[in-house]
Amino acid sequence: MKKVFLLVTFLVLGTCLLEAQAQYNPKAPYEGPYKMNTWSLGVYAGPSQFYGDLREYDFWPVGTNNFDSQSERGTMHVGLTLGKQLTYLFGARLDVGGGNLKGMKRRIYQSYFNANYFQADVAATVNLKGLLFGPTKMKRWKMDVYGGAGQIWFRSTAYQLGSGRLQRRSDDSPTLRNNITELNKKASAYTQEWVIPVGFTTSYELTKNLDLGLDFRLNNVNTEKLDATVGGDPSAIYDGGEGGRLYQGGTATSFLGTPKGNSALDKYGFFAISLTYKLGKNPLRVEKKNGKWAYDFNALDAGKGFYHLRYTDPKLLVKPPKILSLAEIDSIAKANKPKEIDPRLLIDTDNDGVSDYFDKEPNTPAGSIVTGAGQKIDFDKYVKDALPGMACSEIFANVLFDTDKAIIKPEFYDLLNKVVELMNKTQCRLQMAGHADRRASDRYNVALSERRVNAVKQYLSQAGLKDPNRIVVDAYGAFKPIADNGTVDGLKKNRRVELKLMP
């Protein structure tokens, strides 16, 4: 089990180091409109302290060396941590480190010990600052609590106070007991055990990349051998014979079920100063403007900067909807107002279907058939001269109707017959639009204009049009007048079907 844990730990470490420069995981568990930096790499160092059987006082370490004292000070822990912020409130960290421990006990044991150790562990982190104060306060600060599990490799040796004679080692075994020659040799093996770290860390954002912080940690070890002593066994203070049995003690077991002495399991902790480098391209740090924290949305929108999830809640990067004032709305409307339309585009003086803006002959007689440029043509001659398969020019004509009628007047039969002849000889297409004057409801006028355009289409089919599929029809009712509906002449001009022959 321990070997499996070691393999997994180092695989995770290698993977994290390879991916540490990645800015953003598309499957990230946080929600927000922008990508964010999430990785960090830190180093920390500070004094360590042992809590167990060979410990003179609970809190303050002994600092003197004499005939019955051995200094417990001068120990250190140095570590490296790789952090991954999963959401604003939750993250994970991988720690590797090592150090040394010292301790002594006059009563019962009359011993002191020295230990060296290495440790690797993974832990989950909770953003305590975010939970207690929210994302908008103490913006430069981060406070986390964390807890996890790992492995410790240690090598400890216990000595007699005063004489300094070696008594026990953490790698003691039945082959070493009562063998003073072997016992006095330097310990060669490290003892491996489970460890459960819990801690609190706080940091301050110095720059866009660097944080300065403090880390307080207590490590709970699944053994009593960290000080080379099993507590609660008075014989452990003696050498030789049955004394000094490192593995012998009470009937209690550790939190993983292994035998232990009658006292509590060993613990050790440290207080460290940390320096953290926030990984990621183009880091940003929130700044204060006019007394308020402001985010650089221009950089975010351009993809030229990224905030770190350690300090920024993605919800703060959601832009609030802007409520425009009437003056702002008016200003936007004026800025986007289209250019004025040339009034000549809306006027067709001779009602031939071509606006005066494009009409080269704006005064053609009523009922004239004109080209797309508004020039009158001899339609009979045009049809007669048309060659089979040739392309049409644009040609405009109107068919007028009596009030509330959809019956084609005889005077337009010849025009429509010529249209059929031209379409059968060429590849012309025909676009027709029905219209009405204003003397009825919109619903009625649209239906009336539809009957008129269908009447013209039916006439063309009955007159021998070979391909009615080349006809496109529309009905507009009274919505597109070409003359004033307030006059008799204007009403007459608006009761029409417009014909447009096209290539």
Quote the percentage of the chain above a pLDDT of 70.
82
Q: CA nearest 435: which of 493, 487, 484?
A: 493
Query: Looking at residue 360, what DSSP letter applies?
Result: S
Q: Which carries the bigger pLDDT value, residue 24 or residue 442?
A: 442
Q: Read off the pLDDT of residues 181-210 as tens digits, 9 standing for 90 and up.
A: 455 555 557 889 999 999 999 999 999 999
Please count the CA atoms within 13 angstroms of the CA of 278 that sit on its side-chain side. Answer: 26
Running DSSP on this structure, what letter comes out for residue 342? Answer: P
Higher pLDDT, 412 or 67: 412
Structure tokens of 156? 């400890």
CA distance 72 to 261: 23
What are the tokens at 427?
A: 């590849």
Cβ contacts of residue 453 below 8 Å, gap of 6+? Answer: 432, 433, 434, 473, 474, 475, 497
pTM recorded for the entire structure: 0.58
Tell me the one-letter amino acid at 201: T
Instruction: Give the whole-angstrom CA distance, residue 98 versus residue 316.
Output: 39
Q: How far apart are CA 125 and CA 336, in angstroms?
A: 52
- Ordered domains of the chain (ranges, CATH): 2-317 (2.40.160.20), 378-502 (3.30.1330.60)
- pLDDT tens digit sequence for 283-314: 999 988 888 888 888 888 888 889 999 999 99
- 98 or 248: which leads in pLDDT: 98
At 120-137, the pLDDT tens digits run: 999 999 999 999 999 989
User: Any idea which residue has 């099993």 for tokens?
Assistant: 230
pLDDT tens-digit profile of 241-284? 333 344 444 455 566 656 566 778 999 999 999 999 999 889 99
